[in-house]
Structures are given as C-alpha cells and as structure tokens.
Amino acid sequence: MSILIKNGRIVTATDDYTADLLIINDKVAAIGQKLEVNAKQTIDATGMLVLPGGIDPHVHLDMPFMGTFSSDDYSTGTLAALHGGTTMVIDFILQTQGDTLYNALATWKEKSKGKAYGDYSYHMAVTDFNENTRTEIAKLINEEGITSFKTFMAYKGALMIDDGQMVDLMNEVKEHGGMVTVHATNGDMIDKLIAKHRSEGKLSPLYHYLSQPEVTEAEASARFADMANYTGVKSYIVHLTCEGALNAVRKATERNQKVHVETCIQYLTIDASLYEKDFEGAKWVMSPPLREKKDQATLWAGINQGLVQVVATDHCPFMWEQKLMGKDDFSKIPNGHPAIEHRFELLYSEGVNKGRITPNKFVEVASTNAAKIFGMFPQKGTIAVGSDADVVIFDPNEKHTISVDSHHMNVDYSAYEGWELTGKTKKVILRGKLAIDDGEVKIEKGYGQYVKRKPFSKI
C-alpha cells in the first residue's frame, strides 16, 4: 500500500514548506522534492495544505451523564471527527463511585470494541480514590497505556473528589509517571448558587451560567495548581475558559511550575450572550459555561503566549429531546455540546484565516501538543519520516457553511448553525489509508485502533 502526495504545502508545528510526501503502509516513508516513485495512488495537492491529523484529547462518547447518555458513540463520534480532520480522540472512562477502575475500563472496552472509525485512547476519570483504587494506578499506566487520570472538583455526589483524595492521587500518579488532569471549578460554591437560584424560581438556562461565575473556576484552578506544585505531579487543566483561571496558571509560572492548559473551541468562538435566548440557550449549557468576549481575547492571547497548549472540544452531545429534560429546571439540562466534527475547521477559520494564530500554531494546538503532552509523539501529531501517516489534505480557501443538515454527528441541532467557514478538510488519511475523500467514507467501521500511551520520564 503506498500513496504519493505531490506538491502540497506541508505544515507542522515548526515547519512550512512545499514538498512531496510518500506513505508506505501505515507510515510516512519519505519527504522530498519531486519524488520519483511509483506509488499505488498519487494525489495532487497543489494549492492545498498537508497537515498532521487533528487530535482531540477531550471527548465524551456514549457516556452516562445526568440521567442519560451522550448521543454519539464510538462509531458516529469518531466518523464525524474524521470528516472534520480529526484522526484521533481521547475519551474519558468514568469510574463508578464504589467500584474499581478496571471494571470501568472493561465497560469502555466493550463500548469501543469494533466500533471506531478513527483512532482513540482513554483517560481514566477517578471519582473515588481509596486504597483499592491506589493499587490499580501503576497497572493502568504500565499495562494499559492509560497515563492520564482525570479528576472533578465539581459534580458533587457523582464525580467530585475532595482535596485529600486529590493529593493522594497526585502522589500515586507521580510515582508511576502519569499525569493528573482536572475539571477545575469549585463544586461547593456552584451547588450553593444552583440551590439559591432554584429556590428563587430562577430556572432558565441563563441561571446555569449565573451559577458558575468566573471566580468558581479561578479559585479551583489556583487550588489545583497549588496541590500539583506541592506534590510535583505533571498536571493539566481541561476546558479552561476564562481570564481568572488563566491568571492562576500564569501565577504558577512565576515559581517555575508548568501547568498544562487546554481550552475548547467554543470558549474561543461563542459567548454567554447565547444564554439570553430563553430555552434555546440549553444548546450551549455546558460546564464551565460560555464566558465573555474579554475571556475569548485572553484565551487567544494565551495560545500565542504558550500558556494554553491545546484546543479540544469537550464534545458531549445530547439530542434536543434530552436537553428538554431540563425544560423547567436548568440544573437538569444534560451538560455538553457537539463540536467534534467542527473543531479543526473552526479553529483554522477563526484562528488562521482571521489572523489570530499562525498556521504553525494551529497545528501545534490542534494536534502536536496533545500528542506530546499525552505521550504519543512522534507516532502521532506530526508529519515526519516514521510517524503514523495520519494526514489531512486541507483547502485553506474553500468556503462552506455549518449546518445540522450536513453534519455527521448524531445530534439533531448544530451549536454553530449557519456559521460560514473558510478552510475545508478535503481528504483524510489514517495510518496510510484514505479514510475520507471529499466527504465520502472509504474505510470500514472498526478500522480505528486503540493507542497505548507512554508514561512520562521523571527527568
């Protein structure tokens, strides 16, 4: 099996040049000028960008949450991701409180078995850290390749752990070369505000937003950074949304601490004014909520300052029928929104096309940094000889419009309906196989593979 991509503009996190790219079997075999080889298939990429496949390290597929399940499973979710240029996702396994991490892993292996189109890996969300769970950490890292452990500082009673458990977990994870990631918002403060709004009869989606003010995220982010500094564990904040939280991370750099930061495409592109649309605002009920324009500016700047290293989605879609569970009470609206398909193209259009980030920065935050931070580089996240041939051929000038009528996600509305984008994914190659060709699917369900990740060096 071989593919020769000719005359494309190859952009990685560090380079930007025109060349030919030869793929043999599942790997990049050669890069050079005017390669003279007889490949099985030749693609003329003149005028196109040739990019590493996108990596979205924050998705929730078929996840039990708030009395229902997210509506994309491994099949629909990874296929929609591929259509948009994302060749790999990292999904969250959720431990059930009182049960083991390995039982949760078995459930997620069943969910994903034979179903994925795109490649995937798992984070383990630890919702109950105790002496039993402690013994599972080393095995998960060394035998299963699950090196990142997610924690929740909110969602009390279901997912949240307390600070004592957090510090214990951090010590254990550090010992074995893993990383602790966090949903950093102050759960107790949020629960108080939710109760207050409900008791006052303030029940619309707007009060979801007003129950999670910026301070709840800034406080928890600073506390998490302090605990990570104290224990010395490798740390990562998921879906960071606002100036206050980013300032906590900036402050941590003053003591030479590195806290990795992910934001999500929605926090860069849409804002809290959407909650003024009465119940329609439920489409954007997610945690943390959308923020303000000043926060968007901070996040774009944070990307360019290197403080924000990853742009993910927190893809957690629900059908409108499911959102209606909270018709009379915002606290019952399943939290999450659909974006897995649009992250790559939205980020290009709003970022590169509008001059906010360079093409190199785009590749860095849409692919390379996730591969590096989560122990998959250089197998994933770049175009280099020997790397997996996960390649997107992208037209930087083609205009198109997002709509529920044309998207591939299993959800019956779009959070970005009518958005006009510049830049479109034309072809997607996954491990050397043409997977998407101008919107046509060329691979079978089950082609997607589990990616085992490497523990982090202690040096």
Q: Which of 210, 220, 286, 299 binds ligand URP (CB under 6 A)?
A: 286
Q: Please report whether residue 322 would count as binding ligand URP according to CB under 6 A.
A: no
Contacting range for Zn ion; rule: CB under 5 A; set: 11-19, 314-322, 324-332, 446-454 = 314-322
Q: Which is nearer to ligand URP, 315 or 453 (CB)?
A: 315
Q: Please report whether residue 60 would count as binding ligand URP according to CB under 6 A.
A: yes
From the list ligand URP, Zn ion, none, pick the one residue 204 interacts with, judged by a Cβ distance below 5 to 8 Å according to partner type.
none
Minimum distance from CB of 190 to ligand URP (Å)? 12
Minimum distance from CB of 204 to ligand URP (Å)? 17
3-state secondary structure the chain: CEEEEEEEEEECCCCEEEEEEEEECCEEEEEECCCCCCCCEEEECCCCEEEECEEEEEECCCCEECCEECCCCHHHHHHHHHHHCEEEEEEEEECCCCCCHHHHHHHHHHHHCCCCCCEEEEEEECCCCCHHHHHHHHHHHHHHCCCEEEEECCCCCCCECCHHHHHHHHHHHHHCCCEEEEECCCHHHHHHHHHHHHHCCCCCCHHHHHCCCHHHHHHHHHHHHHHHHHHCCEEEECCCCCHHHHHHHHHHHCCCCCEEEEEEHHHHHCCHHHHHCHHHHHHHCCCCCCCCHHHHHHHHHHHHHCCCCEEECCECCCCHHHHHHHCCCHHHCCCCECCCCCHHHHHHHHHHCCCCCCHHHHHHHHHHHHHHHCCCCCCCCCCCCCCECCEEEEEEEEEEECCCCCCCCCCCCCCCCCCEEEEEEEEEEECCEEEEECCEECCCCCCCCECCCCCCCCC
Binders in 172-211 for Zn ion, by CB under 5 A: 183
Q: Which is nearer to Zn ion, 65 or 394 (CB)?
A: 65
Minimum distance from CB of 370 to Zn ion (Å)? 14
Omega before residue 338 within 30° of 0, cis: no
Q: Please report whether residue 343 would count as binding Zn ion according to CB under 5 A.
A: no
Q: Which of 262, 314, 341, 364 binds Zn ion (CB under 5 A)?
A: 314
Q: Which of 52, 84, 205, 336 binds ligand URP (CB under 6 A)?
A: 336
From the list Zn ion, ligand URP, none, pick the one residue 335 interacts with, judged by a Cβ distance below 5 to 8 Å according to partner type.
ligand URP
Q: Please report whether residue 316 would count as binding ligand URP according to CB under 6 A.
A: yes
Q: Partners of 237 in the beta sheet?
A: 182, 261
Residue nearest to ligand URP according to CB distances in the complex: 335
Q: Applying CB under 6 A, what is the total number of residues that bind ligand URP?
A: 8
Q: Please report whether residue 183 would count as binding ligand URP according to CB under 6 A.
A: yes
Q: Applying CB under 5 A, what is the total number of residues that bind Zn ion?
A: 2
Q: Which is nearer to Zn ion, 155 or 362 (CB)?
A: 155
Sequence-distant (≥ 6) Cβ neighbours of residue 188 within 8 angstroms: 156
Minimum distance from CB of 242 to ligand URP (Å)? 14
Minimum distance from CB of 238 to ligand URP (Å)? 7
Q: Please report whether residue 287 would count as binding ligand URP according to CB under 6 A.
A: yes
Q: Which is nearer to ligand URP, 318 or 348 (CB)?
A: 318
Q: Which is nearer to ligand URP, 12 or 335 (CB)?
A: 335
Minimum distance from CB of 212 to ligand URP (Å)? 10
Q: Please report whether residue 335 would count as binding ligand URP according to CB under 6 A.
A: yes
Q: Please report whether residue 314 would count as binding ligand URP according to CB under 6 A.
A: yes
Q: Give me the residues that bind Zn ion (CB under 5 A), please.
A: 183, 314
Interface with ligand URP (CB under 6 A):
60, 183, 286-287, 314, 316, 335-336
